[in-house]
Amino acid sequence: MKRAIYRDENAVTHVIEFTIALTVFVLLVQAFTSSMNHRIGIDLDNNDERVVMAREVISELAGSQGKIGDATNWEDFEFGTGTPQLKDGATVGLLNGNGELDKQKCDALAKFPYTPLRDEFEVKQELRIEIQTLVPKETVCLWGSDPADTSISVKSEKYLLYNDGTNILPALLTVTIFESVKLSNEIYMTEIMYNPSNSGAKYEWIEVYNPNSFSIYITSWTIQDVQEEDNIVAEDGDTLTLPGKSAGILTTSPTTFKETYIDYEYVFSIEDTAIGNGLGNNETLTLSAGGTNKDVFSYTNSDGADGNGKTLTRDCYNCETWAEADATPTTI
């Protein structure tokens, strides 16, 4: 018994030693990285414009807590709704008050659509921002497009501590600037409430999911059934966006949805009083943008969820298969 306790204490000591060693390592590498940046600055030539862009993005991300108006909690604001809005200009700093990378700020990058955040950083090429913890080596934050298919790309890196709300871990912030990209911006239908217990089209809803790492303009998408196509509309001229890795709800009455199901930020309105001409017992639904991006789903009431409080739910966001399941609006 005594021996077991001794071993545990020993293990704790080792973990503490290991963490201290990693932290010292991070600080040393940080010092080294800064001097490297300086040397890159001296060697600069025309073709190194990407290096400059990457360094400037890193400086903004790792330079402060960021700011919108007079507030440093820019992560609490939305891109397309509220006052102020992220689209009105924010300093996108990712640090918390202790100078560590902050999980909530990193996650909030997903509220920016692709082009607006690039513009915010004045980056004229393609951009990717990634935070990887060192032990375990794991991507904990990702925004932007994928440089996999590009031949020319430049990276700027900085070692920092990452605070996930519970743990503080050594991490690597990487900004990649690259030449060209095939940007995917698909979204998907993931759950359908076509025959709610409360009868009436205003209780019907469709859950959609944005699997990308950046937000999409939901108002550039339409939803249609076999009879009618509806726009997704913005009130008061707001630009409505659905953040990356998030679910949204399409319904005719966001107020009714929030009262009946759950109060949620990303509930979007259909232009008239029914999705299509109302979701019937036998439908083909199409979620599309500009004719090229398209997600199609057909069902009949023999698939289930016919007035029993349940929904038709997709097995995964882009799976072929759907089944009756308990309603989980806003979660995938």
Task: Note the residues at the interface with Ca ion (CB under 5 A).
Answer: 191, 194-195, 207, 228, 230, 272, 274, 279, 328
Question: What's the min distance (Å) between Cβ of 192 and Ca ion?
Answer: 10
Contacts of 98 (CB under 8 A, 6+ apart): 163
Give strand ranges (E) for the chain: 101-102, 126-133, 138-144, 153-163, 168-178, 188-193, 205-210, 216-217, 222-224, 229-233, 241-242, 246-251, 267-270, 282-289, 293-300, 311-314, 322-325
Question: What's the min distance (Å) between Cβ of 329 and Ca ion?
Answer: 6
Question: What's the min distance (Å) between Cβ of 28 and Ca ion?
Answer: 46
Nearer to Ca ion, 126 or 191 (CB): 191
CA separation (Å) from 157 to 31, 44, 106, 171, 249? 12, 17, 16, 10, 37
Distance CA(223)–CA(22), nearest Å, equals 51
Q: Is 19 exposed, middle or buried (CB count within 10 Å of its CB: 0-12, 13-18, 19+)?
A: middle
Three-state DSSP state, 322: strand
Question: What's the min distance (Å) between Cβ of 296 and Ca ion?
Answer: 18
CA torsion, ordered 117, 211, 201, 265, to nearest 10 deg? -50
Distance CA(251)–CA(92), nearest Å, equals 32
Question: What's the min distance (Å) between Cβ of 310 and Ca ion?
Answer: 11
Give the residue nearest to Ca ion (CB).
Answer: 328
Nearer to Ca ion, 144 or 196 (CB): 196
248 within 8 A of 210, measured Cβ to Cβ? yes
146 within 8 A of 179, measured Cβ to Cβ? no
Nearer to Ca ion, 122 or 228 (CB): 228
Contacts of 317 (CB under 8 A, 6+ apart): 188, 190, 209, 211, 332
Nearer to Ca ion, 227 or 255 (CB): 227
Question: What's the min distance (Å) between Cβ of 255 and Ca ion?
Answer: 17
Question: What's the min distance (Å) between Cβ of 242 and Ca ion?
Answer: 14
Nearer to Ca ion, 130 or 230 (CB): 230
Nearer to Ca ion, 173 or 279 (CB): 279
Question: What's the min distance (Å) between Cβ of 266 and Ca ion?
Answer: 13
Nearer to Ca ion, 79 or 299 (CB): 299
Task: Give the torsion sign (CA, 9, 15, 18, 24).
Answer: negative
Nearer to Ca ion, 112 or 209 (CB): 209
- Residues β-bridged to residue 311: 325
